[in-house]
Amino acid sequence: MAQQPLLKVEDLVVEFDSTSGPVRAVDGVSFEVHEEEVFCIVGESGSGKSVTMLAVMGLLPENARIAGGSITFRGRDMASLTVSELNAIRGRDVAMVFQDPMTSLNPVRRVGWQIDEMLRIHRKDLSRTQRADRVHELLRSVGVADVEEKARAFPHQWSGGMRQRAMIAMAMAHSPALLVADEPTTALDVTVQAEIMKVLAEVRRENRTSMILITHDLGLVAQVADRIVVMYSGRVAEQGDVFDIFDRPSHPYTAGLLASVLGESSKADRAYAIPGNPPSPQNRPPGCAFSARCALAQGRDMCTGSVPVPVQLATGHSAACHFAHEATASNSALLAVSDGSVR
Amino acid sequence: MTISTARPDEVLRLEDVHMHFTSRRGPFGKPKTVKAVDGVSLHIDRGETLGLVGESGCGKSTLVRTILGLHTATSGRIYLDGWDLLRMPKPERRRARPRMQVVFQDPYTALDPRMTIHDLVAEPLRINGRYSGARVDELLDQVGFTREMAKRKPAEFSGGQRQRVGIARSLALNPDLLILDEPVSALDVSIQAQVINLLGDLQKEHRLAYLFIAHDLSVVRHLSDRVAVMYAGKLVEEGAVDDVFDRPQHVYTRTLLAAVPRPDPHLRPALT
């Protein structure tokens, strides 16, 4: 893909104010999202994956700010835009679906009215009846039956899965080039999750939309991702295409994460657990943030001495580990010796 | 008092338990009955884990609340260690209660933020007049907490560590049965395995019976001996874990298993 990337995030730093000075929640994150691809951001809570996307959307809370780096959407620097320029992009070219459809919808407005709001704001050229037709069409496209009746219902009359469909309909109102979905199915049952992922795939194909999927569910990632970035403690640990990451994980954290997926293991097997706990952004250790939990780092000064830069392993595949080349040699060496016991 | 004719190893037995809720719409409305639990029978032996799966609204939580006595069952029988819980006089039921304990889903809301870890684990012992500092230390040691760490408050610990405190609390009164209500679903992937292994170790050590409720099917598979699948208030399938996962009989179980995304990009369904 030689063309210009749709979204380019370069060396992004996001800081939060705290009583003990600024805290770096995102610390030098870079990645590119291309046209019509599914890009997954994987990480645990506190890894900075959601904050990164809030920064891209210009939705950071008041006590946070972009302290470095750049965000470029279709060649335009997002940070240099005025609020009204930003508002013309948000909801139109870039749309977002959040985790919890219960709290994202207004409980006292009819669902149809809320979808129509997208059209009222961005499509002043449409008449009332044209908008109503478009609302019904959007609802049909996300698999809702009896659209005229359903559009008149209130959110509490819809199930969780149906509400997430409404959120997707809203996000797709202007056929955005980029859809950001932050844990869109985490609150849903697994059967409903499968339906929602199918709806997302359909609307994406129809509208030729790229998607950034933020999730911690590696099963979901394996099923839908084209490319993946793995985040740990506010930094990028590894990025590559889905087969690079799953077949040749080259950062010890990625390897540990994949090893701890239970899959079809049974009671007789011991679950692999990465020893220790992830550091909070306030207490990020010097050097590599993963060093304290890492098998490759044990006793090596370099790991605690300097922050690793991404090592290029193949086209588009890189790992931020001083010993990434060692890591590719043998996967078992990546896993810290731990039976997961805490005693 | 009725004692079931259970085998000596049986910890929990449910026979045809119903929990119906009746509500009326308006003063003249017809009463409407919701059968949240609609004739559930199951049993769990010492040292055994029964996994309970089903989607939200299937009646899992109501079933748990009914077993715990937080709802009074509409009909049926619930035996704990052979004691008929629903027909026991109240004071005796009180004495039987500590034999089952719950570990809750969210370790962030389940612990009082103003109490120290030591006091949190001591609380059930104190309520029952069985407090000793040595017992608390022993319990905390089992879940990997030092005496130094026990002086601190929950806010200083991660989700996985807090969940271990919840587990230590639940073990304080030497229960026979632990009801594990989504004990790892609020935890990060890399931490889940630590807690799962701990639960496995504790079960072996104390021959605990587990009723394990989870929506993550791979976690259920990993921790359970037998699995019960609940749908619309009924158990639609029950059996040994490998039978249910590898040879599901009921159509709902098949749907459920097929919906789980597999963590291998080589196993993607063909695009339609």
The larger pLDDT score, comparing residue A227 to residue A282, is at: A227
Q: Quickly state the pLDDT bin for A333 (edges 50, 70, 90).
A: low
The larger pLDDT score, comparing residue A270 to residue A321, is at: A321
| Contact check, Cβ <8 Å, B265/A242 | yes
What is the edge-to-edge ordering of all strands in the sheet holding B209-213? B100-103, B177-181, B209-213, B49-53, B226-231, B234-240
Q: What is the per-residue pLDDT for A343?
A: 43
DSSP state of A131: H
Residues of chain B with pLDDT under 70: 1-6, 270-272
Instruction: Give the long-range contacts of residues A85-90, CB within 8 A, separation 24 or more.
Output: A86/A58, A88/A122, A90/A57, A90/A58
Q: CA end-to-end span of chain B, whole Å? A: 61
Q: What is the mean pLDDT of residues A241-268?
A: 89
Q: Are A294 and A252 in contact (CB under 8 A)?
A: yes
Question: Is residue A337 pLDDT above 70, yes or no?
Answer: no
Q: What is the per-residue pLDDT for A194?
A: 92
Q: What is the per-residue pLDDT for B23?
A: 84
Q: What is the mean pLDDT of residues A195-210?
A: 94
- B142 to chain A: which residues are within 8 Å by CB? 343
Q: What are phi and psi of A25, to 5 degrees?
A: -80, -35
- B168 to chain A: which residues are within 8 Å by CB? none
Q: What are phi and psi of A318, to 5 degrees?
A: -145, 150
| Contact check, Cβ <8 Å, A270/B197 | yes
Helix/strand/coil for A44: coil
What ipTM describes this predicted complex? Answer: 0.82
CA of B25, closest CA in chain A: separation in Å? 16
Q: Are B5 and B85 in contact (CB under 8 A)?
A: no
Q: What is the per-residue pLDDT for A1?
A: 47
The larger pLDDT score, comparing residue A56 to residue B6, is at: A56
> Which distant-in-sequence residues (6+ apart) come within 8 Å of A123 by Cβ?
A131, A174
Q: Quickly state the pLDDT bin for A128 (edges 50, 70, 90).
A: very high
- A99 to chain B: which residues are within 8 Å by CB? none
The larger pLDDT score, comparing residue B140 to residue A91, is at: B140
- B190 to chain A: which residues are within 8 Å by CB? 44, 256-257, 260, 273-274, 278
Q: Point out the residue among B196, B215, B225 whose CB comes nearest to the CB of A271.
A: B196
d(CA B217, CA B212): 11
Question: Is residue A227 pLDDT above 80, yes or no?
Answer: yes
> Which distant-in-sequence residues (6+ apart) come within 8 Å of A290 by Cβ?
A232, A233, A237, A251, A252, A253, A297
CA of A191, closest CA in chain B: separation in Å? 5
Tracing tokens 């997707």 back to the chain, one arrives at A168
B221 near A CB under 8 A: yes
Q: What is the per-residue pLDDT for A325?
A: 82
Q: What is the per-residue pLDDT for A142?
A: 94
CA distances from A318 to A31, A233, B149 (A): 11, 17, 39
CB neighbours (10 Å) of residue B89? 8
Q: Are B233 and B226 in contact (CB under 8 A)?
A: no
For residue B94, how many C-alpha atoms fall within 13 Å in the half-sphere facing its CB? 5
Q: What is the per-residue pLDDT for A334?
A: 61
CA of B63, closest CA in chain A: separation in Å? 18
Q: What is the per-residue pLDDT for B270?
A: 62
Question: Is residue A139 pLDDT above 70, yes or no?
Answer: yes
Q: What are phi and psi of A116, to 5 degrees?
A: -60, -30
H-helix or E-strand spanning residue A30: strand A23-33
Question: Is residue A342 pLDDT above 50, yes or no?
Answer: no
- A339 to chain B: which residues are within 8 Å by CB? 197
- A220 to chain B: which residues are within 8 Å by CB? 261
Q: Point out the residue among A222, A266, A271 whose CB comes nearest to the CB of B264.
A: A222
Q: What is the per-residue pLDDT for B29?
A: 80
DSSP state of A282: G
d(CA A278, CA B188): 10
Q: Are A196 and A161 in contact (CB under 8 A)?
A: yes
Q: What is the mean pLDDT of residues A63-76?
A: 94
Calculate the average pLDDT of chain A.
90
Question: Is residue A341 pLDDT above 50, yes or no?
Answer: no
CA of B107, closest CA in chain A: separation in Å? 15
Question: Is residue A83 pLDDT above 50, yes or no?
Answer: yes
Q: What is the per-residue pLDDT for B5?
A: 59
The larger pLDDT score, comparing residue A109 to residue A338, is at: A109
Q: What is the per-residue pLDDT for A336?
A: 60
Question: Is residue A297 pLDDT above 90, yes or no?
Answer: no
The larger pLDDT score, comparing residue A225 to residue B32, is at: A225
d(CA A97, CA A171): 7
CA of A100, closest CA in chain B: separation in Å? 15
DSSP string, A5-27: PSEEEEEEEEEE--TTS-EEEEE
H-helix or E-strand spanning residue A204: helix A190-207
And the tokens for A1? 């893909």
Percent of chain A scoring above 70 in pLDDT:
94
d(CA B208, CA B11): 9
> Which distant-in-sequence residues (6+ apart) come within 8 Å of B153 by Cβ?
B113, B114, B115, B116, B117
CA distances from B153 to A46, A47, A252, B134, B165 (A): 20, 24, 32, 19, 11
For residue A249, how many C-alpha atoms fall within 13 Å in the half-sphere facing its CB? 20
And the tokens for A295? 């098998």
- A244 to chain B: which residues are within 8 Å by CB? none
Spell out the domains of chain B, with CATH numbers in brackets: 10-106+177-258 (3.40.50.300)
Rg (Cα) of chain B, in Å, rounded? 20
Q: List B residues 192-211 in contact with A (Cβ-Cβ < 8 A).
A: 192-194, 196-198, 200-201
DSSP state of A176: -
> Which distant-in-sequence residues (6+ apart) come within 8 Å of B259 by Cβ?
A190, A191, A193, A194
Q: Point out the residue among A45, A219, A266 whose CB comes nearest to the CB of B260.
A: A219
Q: Point out the residue among A222, A256, A271 whose CB comes nearest to the CB of B263.
A: A222
> Which distant-in-sequence residues (6+ apart) come within 8 Å of A266 by Cβ?
B221, B222, B241, B242
Question: Among B194, B203, B224, B236, which would you mutate to test the A interface (most chain A Cβ atoms within 10 Å of its Cβ)?
Answer: B194
Q: Can you state the angle between helices B133-142 and B159-171, rounded to 10 degrees? A: 130
Helix/strand/coil for A38: strand
Q: Are A73 and A128 in contact (CB under 8 A)?
A: no
Q: What is the mean pLDDT of residues A94-98?
A: 92
Percent of chain A scoring above 90 in pLDDT:
68
d(CA B155, CA B152): 8
Q: What is the per-residue pLDDT for B2?
A: 57
Q: Quickly state the pLDDT bin for A332 (edges 50, 70, 90).
A: low
